[in-house]
Amino acid sequence: MTFSGSIATPVGVLAVHSDGSAIRRVHWPRPGQSAPAAPGSSSDAERDPLLAEALDQLGAYFAGARAAFDLPFDLGPQSDVTNAVLHALYDTVLHGETVTYGELAERSGTAVPARAIGSIMGANPIPIIVPCHRVVASDGLGGYSGGAPGEGLLTKRWLLEHEGALPQALF
């Protein structure tokens, strides 16, 4: 059984999905796609304590009151390399830090080339909690597939500024 809820954030509405024992997916619903009911309505969070906790922790993160997530998650069917890279990211890149694609490739202990890390970040089913926004290019922000359509880099910049990993923009 899947439980779903959503939370309004400064970077858009996030939909969160749980199977009751692990968070399975976090995503930005696309236009025309209905988001799960927001907390406080008839959301599945009333029936799934894990979903309720995930929404609470995300709310605290966006309020600046939480720096790390303490939630079980399941990345779903991924290759061994993708699992190793995403777990290395979750385990070693903390709030307020960034890592380059090449550095994450090294930390993962895989032989994956740095240029493949971006594709792996795009396969992350649990953004924010597994912080793919913290992975940057050696010469700038790199890419980001999260956020509203066309807002990926703005979303990434906001998240990194929120965590103190980038100075706030002057414009």
- The set of catalytic residues is 132
Q: How many other CB atoms are there within 10 angstroms of residue 23's CB atom?
A: 26
Q: Is 15 helix (H, G, I), strand (E, B) or coil?
A: strand
Tokens for 75, please give them: 């990345």
- Extract the runs of DSSP E, i.e. beta strands, from 44-138: 99-100, 135-136
CA distance linking residue 63 with residue 60, whole number of Å: 5
C-alpha to C-alpha distances, 14 to 4, 42, 148, 167, nearest whole angstrom = 11, 17, 10, 25
171 burial type by CB count under 10 A (0-12 exposed, 13-18 middle, 19+ buried): exposed
CA distance linking residue 138 with residue 102, whole number of Å: 8
